[in-house]
Amino acid sequence: MSCSKLSFLFESAATTETIGRHSFIGADPRKTLISGSSHGYEADPLPRLDEELSQYRIASIPSLRLPPMTGGAIGYVGYDCVKYFEPKTKRPLKDVLGVPESLFMLFDTIVAVDHFFQKVMVITYLHVPPKDEPEGALGKAYDSCKKTIADMLRTLKDPHLPLPPQGPIKLDQEYTSNIGRPGYEAHVNRLKGHIVAGDIIQAVPSQRIARPTSLHSFNIYRHLRTVNPSPYLFYLDCEDFQIVGASPELLVKADQDTGRVINHPIAGTVTRGTTPEEDQRLADTLRASLKDRAEHVMLVDLARNDVNRVCDPLTTRVDQLMVVQRFSHVQHLVSEVSGVLRKGKTRFDAFRSIFPAGTVSGAPKVRAMELIAELEGEKRGVYAGAVGYFGYNTVDSSTGEETEGAMDTCIALRTMLVKEGVAYLQAGGGIVFDSDPGEEYEETMNKAAANMRCIEQAERLHWEEQQAGGKLGTEEMVGMQNGVEERNGKHLEARCVALDYPFYSPITAPTSTPRSSRRSPPHTVASPKTSSSSSSPTSLLPAVLALFDISSAQLPSLGNKDSVHDGDDKDKMAKDDKPAADPRMMSVTPRIRYNTIGGVNGPLVILENVKFPRFNEIVSLTLPDGTERSGQVLEARGSRAVVQVFEGTSGIDVKKTKVEFTGHSLKLGVSEDMLGRIFDGSGRAIDKGPKVLAEDYLDINGSPINPYARLYPEEMISTGISAIDTMNSIARGQKIPIFSAAGLPHNEIAAQICRQSGLVQLQKEQQDGVNKGVHDDHDDNFSIVFGAMGVNLETSRFFTRDFEENGSMERVTLFLNLANDPTIERIITPRLALTTAEYYAYQLEKHVLVILTDMTSYCDALREVSAAREEVPGRRGYPGYMYTDLSTIYERAGRVEGRNGSITQIPILTMPNDDITHPIPDLTGYITEGQIFVDRQLHNKGVYPPINVLPSLSRLMKSAIGEGHTRADHSDVSNQLYAKYAIGRDAASMKAVVGEDALSDEDKLSLEFLERFEKGYIAQGAYEKRSIYDGLDQAWELLRIYPKELLNRIPKKVLDKYYQRQGKKPESKDTKDGEEQGNGEAATNGEQNGEQNGGGEESLI
């Protein structure tokens, strides 16, 4: 293998169950696809790659499960290919390096190493010959595959593989930069000018460093994997040049296990410390850096948009946010964004959407790339591009269902290009508004330091060996980490099992686009597709497979060489030669119980020496008395896990409590049967109803709606409260909080909204000769999800009793977290409520109103957990990430393109000390779309509900009201009420200073309006439901205390239509005619006044 001029080696230093679990090796590809201006194909390389891969499919066999890559296309896409994906970025650039823009090798045989289960597999493909081939062709192809595996086994069993020859070493050669410090700092200053001008928010320029070296490129790689272990280690021998890399960052991955497309933004860097304490201090500094956090959040948002361009917006989510990961020389802030591909989109669409990563380009991405090209003036080559693989599609051998192949690519960072005795390194950094040019230059040098040190140390090592007159010692095959090795003084041979299966299994090739599967096929094997366009039955043949179990000590035969492989004996051979299933071939995730609790801190349990803990993973705890509790991994760092226990940590014995990691995140079983039911804060039913039979299980973290797919709210949700419906109308899909305070009746208002709320639908009906426009309608498409957090027992009984006694319970799902329940439960309660709402809205297509009270209790729980984790506090002791955390809740409200349902959210919060500048209402106000303000002064006056309409605001009101939604006069009436109420408040203040006798007649009229507005319009019975048109009619009754000419915020034509309409009592024709004559005169006067006042077209909304 090492003698091949075209070969690859993919490794990983991060060996969890999902990240970096496998290493792959291949040599002598059957075909190579190259693109570039001097390589005969200058175009987007992905269509040609897709076409080549589509010629072959892999049959899925249920007895085994193989790695995500069992073959396919392995190589790279250079950064400069972006000009094909985003033509606006194309610029004339110098080609200094002279390497292809892309290169992919297609292999028939690869070696895969499973680090998690410690197995090595050899996989080769049998190309199924057409059925019109002479008899015996298939048997010959099968024999050829067996010979290929036998040859590979001989190579792998050899414990002493020769290393590449190494010539004389020359030390201490100089590095040269293509631009140097002055050039790089000049680029930074120019980009900062574009940022100030508003052209971009961030950009990532780079510099290239070159250094002559006499090292063999593979010896560079051997040392790099030691000094800079990374999640993505790769060596690509492309004949004329080699690519050596240790990338920390995934670009895009299509995960067949979950069906998700995954992206890992990395931004924010500090160096490593010399001691663990300094390391931690630097990590804390990185977390607290406003510049790095702002840059990182921006790139996470960019990644969300990239992912959402090709994914179902409901599935796009941020799985991890700003986790510090440590590498050999630096520490980074790392996040994870993922989504499920939309119908009709493929992994190649996902690659185009995300490539290149925002972490190597900037934001807005296209403009940033344009500026990078103009500044750098040279092709970047492999740097900042992608290295990885695209696997073959899989076909289920029993159903014919086709699943899109795997994809796993990393960003070509910390990567060296070795060509003609020169190693080229390239590194860059994100430039934002407050970047310091000198510090940014040093950051690029820090990023390149691992590769620079690698070359220097490797040269020194080989030079010393040569000076000593010895030879460099041989070692076992690179890539077989923890593989075939010396144990108990003996070299263990790997055990091989040859698998034979029936040759022909007719399957109709599907003509539709392959779907993205949530489950990986249990076993994948290869077969070619007879025609790229044919839909006729295709014969699919499993590959010949060799599977190594490292703990074995014998190598059985590959099979009977005398077996007949052609003609009528094919079926006999399949039956007779097929070996019994080996139980070790079954891929079973181990479940390990730990008793390694390192400590308990408040609601948190700290576990040490845990194998591969995962963020958000659910944990089961068994106490010494057999009691079971559950928790969730809040932080996973190396072998240390911080777990938040839902039921609290009281009674946990650190020495005797056992902990088991379940391998999955917290999910809620959902069903329409949840309507009318009551659950506790952890999702357990606490009423006397039967157990809910789940129709689906949904991750409670949900998916905040991406703006790309969000529909602008247009219809109105009615609450039956005039101060809200008339003055601050709520649109379907809006998120609008109620700001209250201790001692105010926000719970009563919440209960009243639950009793009275519903949809507003346009109705054309005549009542007393008047077109009312709309009426309220509580139909089956409307539901309510109510989440109460940290409430006392009396309040919880109030809610349940009120809903049940007034008949609203049948359309409500109620989650109750009591004040004496565990703190952690308070954090998951709103997520349970919103997950239920998402099921109702997007699967059952209901319009859902979510009411959450009290968000202040929720934020206090966040603060308690943050303090237990000893995090650096933010404003008033609350965690610095509270804004982001609240966003993950509030942003789940909305409407989504292609879905009929909607989620409207009314979070209720009590402002500590009535302080609207407190961090909780302050941050809530930034995220949401207005606020309803509950006022203590009105409450003290005996007004219920004490809603002060002046500081209240609904930013989406305009889209929910007016002709076609409520009534044509709605906006104008609301504007006039606002104006007159504000004037009335001013008149009351003036009266307190100068007395009533000093007021003008208009001021006295304003005082009368103020009294009637607060006591007769804002004030409303707790069980009084007003429809929107009742509220508008009452508003006109109130406004009629003013002469028509003083209603200057209502247009003349609206005044003409509504001002003179009085009660609806029956009248004689003569009386009615007389009134109409009088109304006509009033209208004439109104017209004159309207003309004098300019028509009154001004609007407050």
- The set of catalytic residues is 332, 359, 383, 414, 430
Q: Which residues on neighbouring strands pair with residue 1060, listed in sequence order? A: none
C-alpha 442/C-alpha 448 separation (Å) is 10
Q: Enter the tokens of residue 392.
A: 């073959």
For 769-801, letters b (16+ CB in 10 Å) and e give eeebbbbbeeeebbbbbbbbbbbeeebbeebbe
Instruction: Take residue 340 and report the two structure tokens written for it.
Output: 């499920």
Q: CA angle 92-97-103, nearest 5°? A: 95
Question: Which tokens in the block code for residue 597?
Answer: 């609790």
> How far, in Å, CA of 1039 to CA of 32, rounded?
81
Name the CA dihedral angle for 344, 350, 352, 357, rounded to a multiple of 10 degrees. Answer: 160
Does residue 772 contact residue 1029 with C-beta atoms inside 8 Å? yes
Distance (Å, whole) CA 565 – CA 894: 62
From CA 702, how far away is CA 545, in angstroms rounded? 40
Q: How many CB atoms lie within 10 A of CB 125?
A: 26
Please measure the distance between the N-terminal and C-terminal CA atoms of the chain and give it in whole angstroms: 73
DSSP E strands: which ranges in 958-1096? none
- Give the C-alpha separation, 268 to 262, whole Å: 20
Select from 624, 617, 693 the least CA-distant residue to 657: 624
Dump the DSSP string for 441-510: HHHHHHHHHHHHHHHHHHHHHHHHHHHTT--PPPBSPTT-TTSS-EETTEEPPPB--B----S--EEEPP
b/e map 32-69, b = 16+ CB within 10 Å: ebbbbeeeeeeebbbeebeebbeebbbbbbeebbbbbb
The closest of 430, 409, 550 to 485, measured between CA atoms, is 550
**Residue 414, phi then psi, degrees to nearest 5:** 50, 40
Distance CA 163, CA 465 (A): 14
Measured in whole angstroms, the distance separating CA 191 from the mean position of its chain's CA atoms is 29
The DSSP result for 423-440, as a single string, is EEEEEE--B-TT--HHHH
d(CA 656, CA 579): 45
DSSP class of 3: T
C-alpha 661 chain-centroid distance: 23
| Residues 334/268, Cβ–Cβ less than 8 Å | no
Q: Using DSSP, state whether 780 is helix, strand or coil.
A: coil
φ, ψ of residue 749 in degrees (nearest 5): -65, -40
Query: Angle of helix 1028-1039 relative to helix 970-994, nearest 10 degrees?
Result: 50
Token pair 């493909």 is found at 125
Q: Can you give the three-state secondary structure of 878-936, one letter per residue?
A: CECCHHHHHHHHHCCCEEECCCCCEEEEEEEEECHHHCCCCHHHHHHHHHCCEEEEECH
Q: How far apart (Å, rounded) are the C-alpha atoms in residues 578 and 574? A: 6
Per DSSP, which regions of 494-583 are E strands? Answer: 506-508, 524-528, 537-539, 545-549
> Token digits for 1021?
């019975």
